[in-house]
Amino acid sequence: MYNENIFHYLRTNKLPHIWCPGCAHGIITASILRGIDKLKLDKNKTSVISGIGCSGRTPGYLDMNTLHTTHGRSLTFATGIKFANPKLTVIDVMGDGDALAIGGNHFIHACRRNIDITAIIFNNNIYGMTGGQYSPTTPVNAYASTAPYGNVEPPFDIVKLATGAGATFVARGDAFHVALMDKIIEQAISHKGFSVVEIMATCPTQFGRRNKMKEPYQMLDFVANMAVSIKKWNEISEEEKEGKFPVGVFVDETRSEYCESYEENILKKVQRGEK
Amino acid sequence: MSTQKVLMGNHALSWGAVTSRVQVISAYPITPQTQVVELLSEMCTDGTLDAEFIKVESEHSAMAACIGASAAGARTFTATSAQGLALMHEMLHWAVGGRLPVVMGNINRAMAPPWTIWTEQTDSLSQRDTGWLQVYASSNQEVYDSVLMAYKIAENRKVSLPMMIVLDAFFLSHTSENVIMIDQNKADAYLPKYDPEFKLDVKNPHTFGGLTTPDWYMELRYNIQKGMDDSYQVIRDAQSEFKSVFGRDYGMVEEYKCEDADVILVGMATAASTGKESIDILRNKGVKAGLLRIRYFRPFPFEDVRRVLKNAKQILVLDRNLSPGLGGITFQEVKSAMYNEKNKPPIYGFIMGLGGRDITVESITNLFEHAKKNDPQDIIWMEVKK
Ligand code: SF4
């Protein structure tokens, strides 16, 4: 898995990063960089955007065109970037609170439009940076600083949400199964249209400590044991599915991409003087 | 004997809300505020506080939920900071237009980009035209006491406006101090149950926020200003009753060695309390220095400011905020307060400590040094790398 080339895409003078020891964010970032390297993307023609939260730090370490934007709004910035310069490869990294709470509205509309952006959600089930408040993906009964007796709100299923909202590539991976994560991310970046990748991440500091998994390996073990391939998922009983989640590619289809259909259906008509 | 607790500023806010028996709290996490509502959410669940805690998906929704709850007649509380406050902006106007006495803690944090979490007042001062009352604290005791007084003032039918209690990130929010707690029975006597003139009521339906034509909009704005005008007396009454019951004395401003002072420094929040130390040093050297700490920024304490400053020979204003294209925001207000006075002392506008850069006792004594040697200017940048 180790790949020297990823240093080419890092602002090494910004390292070491500020993520906690045992945090999955570094694992996911490296996976994104291996994807970029494998696809031989020109770093000057690649743009990585983020919102706020621990995931928001990611672009700061990447030697590309990067933007660290406001909480929940990164997809709107990314849409502007892609629309202004469709030649750029645009990757938007988000956290679960970022993408689905404060930014939920932007998320579903980006899916609906099918703009060619890759959205990678670092789902650690918690607001890590602000100290462990429950998020829209915190599992029921899990503990959080704002849920000292356990969370009662049902979480979002990101895969189903993105599928329902119209994303044309939807996949889920986890921070333990790195080979699968690499494959999914690479596929997502090369997909034309709006791609959503949910990575089940680990946050030993804010989620793990409150939920009897204070050691980083315990949290990694936890996601590793929960992840079930789609094929196996379709074979097991409902009871066996309890507390687990399927990983793999759920949606991979073609539909007209937003920038292209804007060009075809509006710009060209205007040029031809049609109304 | 009264109980004391060692509380950080954030928790002083939470306890202020508990003592005020708030009924609905709605909030979204943001550093450095989060601890305020974290403690409250715990207390709502373990029964310390009989209130509903609504966790929402953004600060905009947090303020919207407070507005809804307040319109339904509940005493509501929230807290935020910087970007969160900016996101609430539309709703801040709504609370004012709806005449809803929501009380909010705002932890002063500098605005992004670049991303930062340290203190500066530009976030709350850029909300100065929304119609919220604003009080700036310089100790955790003051934070705690201000919450109880805030409800008393905001809910007074003459005022009926929302109020913001503002404190510095980290210097207060995360610093622990001794806080004398208020006896709950006395608090209940001081602050009775919220009894709004108008509320959403199924038996007697009302509406808030309907469409208004040019025939009446202006009158409603006039009433908001009237609420602000009347609030001066309401604030004074709330403070003097507070003093007689709880013994602590607050004014719209705090004066420190101003009576005979030639040079008076004007500032707010913790930077101003640091300034007291500088005043003592200067006094020991024979300089007749004084300090005026502005507590209320809205309504602006024009009378107190004029009374204290009119005999000074020099006025130095310290701003930990910036309105680009203009300068320090407190400076602007102080200058306008003095414009119609017969004696107009020269006013110096200092910008210092942006983005949480430390303001030390020495940095404040340097302002006096500067004013001794230089003519007044509207914007004087101190300790900036140029
Ligand atoms: S708080 Fe959690 S998500 Fe944030 S850096 Fe630490 S381990 Fe990672």
- Over residues B230-255, the mean pLDDT reads 98
Q: If we measure between CA atoms, which residue out of B314, B330, B323 comes closest to residue B375?
A: B314
**pLDDT tens digits for range B105-118:** 999 999 999 999 99
- Over residues A8-28, the mean pLDDT reads 95
Task: Write out the H or E segment, with its range, that includes residue A222.
Answer: helix A216-226
Q: Which pLDDT does position A3 carry in this prediction?
A: 84
Q: Give the HSE-up count for residue B141: Cα atoms under 13 Å, Cβ half-sphere.
A: 12
Tally Cβ neighbours within 10 Å of residue A109: 15
Residues B72, B79, B86, B146, CA torsion sign:
positive
Phi, psi of B315, deg, nearest 5: -120, 130
* Per-residue burial over A37-62, b = 16 or more CB atoms within 10 Å of its CB, e = otherwise: bbeebebeebbbbbbbbbbbbbbebb
Chain A: closest CA distance from residue B351 (Å): 27
Nearest CB to A146; choose among B55, B57, B87: B55
Q: Which pLDDT does position B200 carry in this prediction?
A: 95
Antiparallel, parallel or unpaired: β B263-267 and B296-298: unpaired
State whether B34 and A130 contact (CB < 8 Å): yes
The protein residue with its alpha carbon nearest to ligand 1, atom 1, reads: A128
Distance separating alpha carbons of residues A188 and B133, to the nearest angstrom:
50
Cβ contact B177:B141 at 8 Å: yes
Task: Tell whether B42 is within 8 A of chain A (Cβ).
Answer: yes
Chain B: closest CA distance from residue A145 (Å): 6
Q: What is the domain count for chain A?
A: 1
**pLDDT tens digits for range A226-250:** 999 999 999 999 999 998 999 999 9
Record the tokens describing residue A77, joined without a space. 């910035």
Counted across chains A and B, CB pairs separated by less than 8 A come out at: 52
Chain B: closest CA distance from residue A127 (Å): 8
**pLDDT tens digits for range B323-379:** 999 999 999 999 999 999 999 999 999 999 999 999 999 999 999 999 999 999 999
**pLDDT tens digits for range A132-163:** 999 999 999 999 998 999 999 999 999 999 99
Q: If we measure between CA atoms, which residue out of A185, A187, A138 comes closest to residue A158?
A: A138
pLDDT band at B1 (very low <50, low <70, confident <90, very high): low
Q: Which pLDDT does position B60 carry in this prediction?
A: 97
- Per-window interface: B 104-123 vs A, CB < 8 A: 112-113, 115
Distance separating alpha carbons of residues A141 and A155, to the nearest angstrom:
11
pLDDT at residue B127 greater than cutoff 80: yes
The residue behind tokens 């030697």 is A63
State whether B29 and A102 contact (CB < 8 Å): no
pLDDT band at B2 (very low <50, low <70, confident <90, very high): confident
- What is the SS3 assignment for B243? helix
Domain containing residue A40: 4-272
The protein residue with its alpha carbon nearest to ligand 1, atom 2, reads: A203
Cβ contact B176:B206 at 8 Å: no
Q: If we measure between CA atoms, which residue out of B94, B75, B95, B88 comes closest to residue B33?
A: B88
**pLDDT tens digits for range B190-228:** 999 999 999 999 999 988 998 999 999 999 999 999 999
pLDDT band at A2 (very low <50, low <70, confident <90, very high): confident
- Residues 6 or more apart whose Cβ sits within 8 Å of residue A194: A110, A111, A113, A114, A115, A116, A117, A119, A166, A167, A168, A169, A258
Among A129, A207, A209, A222, which residue has the most ligand 1 atoms within 8 Å of its CB, making it the best to mutate?
Answer: A129
**pLDDT tens digits for range B129-165:** 999 999 999 999 999 999 999 999 999 999 999 999 9
CATH value at residue A131: 3.40.50.970
Which residues on chain A are in Cβ contact (under 8 Å) with B28?
Answer: 101-102
Cβ contact B186:B246 at 8 Å: yes
pLDDT at residue A258 greater than cutoff 90: yes
- Residue A251's DSSP bridge partners are A170
Cβ contact B53:A97 at 8 Å: no
Cα(A95) to ligand 1 centroid in Å equals 11
Cα(A215) to ligand 1 centroid in Å equals 13
Task: Tell whether B48 is within 8 A of chain A (Cβ).
Answer: no
Cα(A121) to ligand 1 centroid in Å equals 14
Give all domains of chain B, ordered by start, each with its CATH number.
4-246 (3.40.50.970), 253-381 (3.40.50.920)
Please provide the average confidence, as pLDDT, over all residues in chain B: 97
The structure's pTM equals 0.90
Measured from the Cα of A128, ligand 1's closest atom is 1
Residues with CB under 6 A from ligand 1: A 19-20, 23, 25, 54, 124, 128-129, 203-206
Query: Measuring CA to CA, how many Å separate B295 from each of A213, B10, B181, B190, B269?
Result: 46, 18, 21, 21, 7
Mutation site, A71, A100, A129, A134, interface B, largest B CB count within 10 A: A71
- Residue B135's DSSP bridge partners are B165, B296
Q: Which pLDDT does position A275 carry in this prediction?
A: 75
Q: In this predicted complex, what is the ipTM? A: 0.81
- Is the bond leading into B114 cis (omega within 30 degrees of zero)? yes
Phi, psi of B136, deg, nearest 5: -105, 125
